[in-house]
Amino acid sequence: MFHKAYSLNLIYTTLYRVTDVALVGGGAFPQPGEISLSHNGVLFLDELPEFKRGVLEVLRQPLEDREVTISRAKFTVTYPSSFMLVASMNPSPGGYFNDPSAPVTSSPAEMQRYLSKISGPLLDRIDIHIEVTPVPFEKLSEDRKGETSVDIRKRVTKARELQTERFKASNTVHYNAQMNTKQIRKHCILDEGSKQLLKTAMERLNLSARAYDRILKVSRTIADLEGVEEVNGSHISEAIQYRSLDREGWLG
């Protein structure tokens, strides 16, 4: 039995020796894997480069189709796999990145080999890439309070309600991440300045058509969080900043 839409089913996976069958599903009598068990929920993969590359590659098609098909000699089974993939990693195999005071450091070549387990096509299917820098002691110890989780939840809930209203006529699309190309063109109309900004980013970062669509989807969501009807240049610019792994030389 799978959870109802929008329920939070968090699957936290740190099994670096996990097989592709365990992740996708299978067996003599095919059973659902982790990606189907996290249907309508979140699949969190910790220390992403520690997983075998072959295991990670099986995520590509389910991320695209939101379902996975397991074929056997006598029958074929299709399981739903509409999940939110969240992954974390340290770019350095030594565990320290851009920290000159670290006891163990890794060269750019070592880091590149370490990250080569994560293919470009897989990264292409991840909407947001964010580099998180170490937080200094002064920031950790200061008394200044940021936005509360309650306030953030209210903004997110309001944005989801906007998306539910936007796609109320569709039986298959309920939020921005599920939009197809036709819906992206309809709901992400850009002015000339925004188009030029996105064109420049596409050329300089050598982004794919898939990354182009994902930038527009993220831009639409940023606009929804702000309660703005039209996507503008600031939304496009922010969404582009969330593609840090597409930038050449980001390892330094």
pTM over 0.85: no
Name the phi and psi angles at 227, rounded to 5.
75, 25
pLDDT in tens, the chain (252 residues): 333 344 445 555 545 567 778 888 887 788 888 899 999 899 999 888 888 888 899 899 899 889 998 887 777 889 999 999 999 988 877 777 766 666 667 777 888 888 888 888 898 889 999 888 777 788 877 877 778 899 999 999 999 999 999 999 998 899 999 999 999 999 999 999 999 999 999 998 888 888 999 999 999 999 999 999 999 999 999 999 998 777 654 554
pLDDT of the residue at 100: 63
Q: Compute the radius of gyration of the chain from its Cα atoms.
A: 20
**Residue 32, beta-bridge partner list:** 25
**Residue 238, beta-bridge partner list:** none
pLDDT of the residue at 10: 53
Dist CA 204 CA 88 (whole Å):
26
Rounded alpha-carbon distances, angstroms, from residue 22 to 33, 34, 90, 117: 5, 7, 24, 19
Dist CA 13 CA 185 (whole Å):
36
- 10-126 CATH fold: Rossmann fold (3.40.50)
Supply the DSSP string of the chain, one letter for each residue: --PPTT---EEEE--TT--HHHHHEETTTTEE-HHHHTTTSEEEESSGGGS-HHHHHTTHHHHHHSEEEEE-SS-EEEEE---EEEE---SSTTS-SS-TT-SS---HHHHHHHHTTS-HHHHHT-S-B-PPPPPPHHHHH-------HHHHHHHHHHHHHHHHHHTTT-SS--SGGG--HHHHHHH----HHHHHHHHHHHHHHT--HHHHHHHHHHHHHHHHHHT-SS--HHHHHHHHHTBGGGSTTTT-
Q: Where are the domains of the chain?
A: 10-126, 149-246
- B/e letters for 3-26, b = 16+ CB within 10 Å, e = fewer, are eeeeeeeebebeeeebebebbbbb
Cβ partners under 8 Å of residue 109, min gap 6: none
